[in-house]
A and B are shown apart, each in its own frame.
Chain A
Amino acid sequence: MIPRYFHDQVTQGAAECAVAAVMALLVMLLAERRGVGLLRELPLAQLRGIVQIVTVGGILTVLLRGPSGTSLLVLGGMMLAAASIVRGRARQIPRAFALALISIFVGAGSILAVMIGAGILPLRITMLVPVGSMVIAQTMNMQSIFLDRFRSEVVSHTGEIESALALGGSPDAAVSIYLRAAYKASLIPSIDSVRSLGIVWIPGIMAGMVLSGASPVYAALYQFVVISTIFSAAALTCLVASALVTRRVFSPQEQLLLRP
């Protein structure tokens, strides 16, 4: 229906964005009746998202003509932004920005480096930036889930944790069970994505490759490579975060700082 009323791509895209945004708002209105409390957050997030993605579209148009090393700068900027968003979700955890940045840098950075080194991911900006952004975005999401779950586990089990400390246990021993629970919880959506690949959803890269004339089988195989890369990077990021987060919720005297 919408294409009938618009004759250029930009105005048509804007109208489609408006419909999608209103649809999301309507769903959140329904959810608000159950007291979810995210309705105020959504319009701002949508506005921020549309401005950011359009800006990036403009920047990419310029960068596509630049040297291939430029893509590393772009990915670096994305990592900083992702770490900043994770910090917003994990404010109760001291020095969460540094924690998130180190985790994303090690997790996403090392997996991307391996893929580039193996020649699977070309250093071309047209490939590296889109795939790298997907990897970084997923590491950000999983890390947010991980830190949020870990925080809530710790806050709701302060008695057990302090009992373990009071018995001479180390901070690691006191929170290990909660770290494991948070790590598992953060991995579940990604494992489900891998499991449902091709059955429940056909990801964008595969669709794009098929549309641009690539072999559907090769497109499918490459899509699996991308999804696996994303999963490995995100899982490694959370593993690094789990190794770093314990120090941040205990004082040097091994006292629990994260309390209700």
Chain B
Amino acid sequence: MDCSRPSNSYLLRCSELTRELPAPGKRLKHENGATPSALNGRRALIEDVSFDLACGEVLAVTGPSGSGKSTLLRLLNRLDEPTSGRVLLNLKKPGGDDHTGGIDYRSIPARELRRRVGMVMQRAYLFAGTVAQNVAFGPAQLAQTLTSGQIEEMLVRVGLGGYGERAALTLSGGEAQRVAITRALANRPELLLLDEPTSSLDEAARDSVEALLSSLIRENNLACVWVTHDPAQAQRLADSLLRLEEGRVAGYRPVHRLKASSGDVSPFESTYHPAVTEVGELPRVRERGTSTDHPGNCG
């Protein structure tokens, strides 16, 4: 994807995104305008999460278990519904490089949204059948057929040349995750959501899958939200960092500030403490992209 765009543009804008669980036996109304303090008996999975993502930017989301990282990705892919807040997307218009401008993602049909906002989960969750059938699943939903040559080309790029006819459920963890990545990229997404894609792998597989993802993201200049519990991985890969704690934004920093920090001390530990939360810095200029009030044009 060509992202040689004006610098003041965003691909994704997430504003005060909140997802609550209703009190037992009660239905929760979305967009009801309730303030968090009024949410008697309700548990917020995430609360008032705001950030922007520029075209081609990699945002690492970190935080302890249960802090809402996966919930955030599920909301962005619309596998779950936010209780309140907005998500604006500035996707390409069909058949061209022009962009739609910031439009509420609720106005995009769910299937189309999920094709354009791809997701790789913590586990591969491959379908029964061959590797080729898994890779072809997404395009097949639009009645598009990938040729065996196209599938093989994609598999070669992830180091799985010749795997097309193998039974998907017999692959190792690392191989399966490579297929899951290929499967997501077969839809040619404009934004990729990665939910701890290396955390269930052994060390060797983790390193190779991380390197693969990193190169695919750079090659395609993909915008990416990468959830990880590993601060070192986040620092290696990310342009900007968002830390969640108990569902709230506990810190946000663009990467150039992180790189300037001491190498011995984790920048997360040193700067991502709730006491030094910097959510207010969201509109600052970043290295690879900037959020402003204008969606701009990523094309």
Complexed CA–CA distance, A160 and B115 (Å): 16
Q: Are A168 and B79 in contact (CB under 8 A)?
A: no
Interface residue tally of chain B, by bracket? 20 to 34
A52 in the interface, Cβ–Cβ < 8 Å?
A: no
Q: Are B125 and A177 in contact (CB under 8 A)?
A: no
Closest to A160 in B: B125
Q: Are B115 and A167 in contact (CB under 8 A)?
A: yes
Complexed CA–CA distance, A163 and B110 (Å): 14
Q: Are A167 and B187 in contact (CB under 8 A)?
A: yes
Which stretch in B89-97, B116-124, B151-159, B217-225 binds the other chain? B116-124
Which stretch in A23-31, A105-113, A145-153, A251-259 binds the other chain? A251-259
Complexed CA–CA distance, A160 and B137 (Å): 12
Interface residue tally of chain A, by bracket? 10 to 19
Partner of A168, one of B81, B114, B125, B127: B114
A11 in the interface, Cβ–Cβ < 8 Å?
A: no
B28 in the interface, Cβ–Cβ < 8 Å?
A: no
B111 in the interface, Cβ–Cβ < 8 Å?
A: yes
Which chain B residues lie closer than 8 Å to A98 at the CB level?
Answer: none
Question: Which residues of chain A from 207 to 260 have a CB within 8 Å of any chain B CB?
Answer: 251, 253-256
Which chain A residues lie closer than 8 Å to B112 at the CB level?
Answer: 168
Complexed CA–CA distance, A177 and B125 (Å): 14
B101 in the interface, Cβ–Cβ < 8 Å?
A: no
Which chain A residues lie closer than 8 Å to B118 at the CB level?
Answer: 166-167
Closest to A166 in B: B119
B13 in the interface, Cβ–Cβ < 8 Å?
A: no
B138 in the interface, Cβ–Cβ < 8 Å?
A: yes
Partner of A165, one of B114, B127, B142: B114
Q: How far is the CB of B185 from chain A (nearest CB, A)?
A: 11
A173 in the interface, Cβ–Cβ < 8 Å?
A: yes
Q: Are B137 and A166 in contact (CB under 8 A)?
A: no
Identify the A interface with B (CB < 8 A): 159-160, 162-170, 173, 177, 251, 253-256
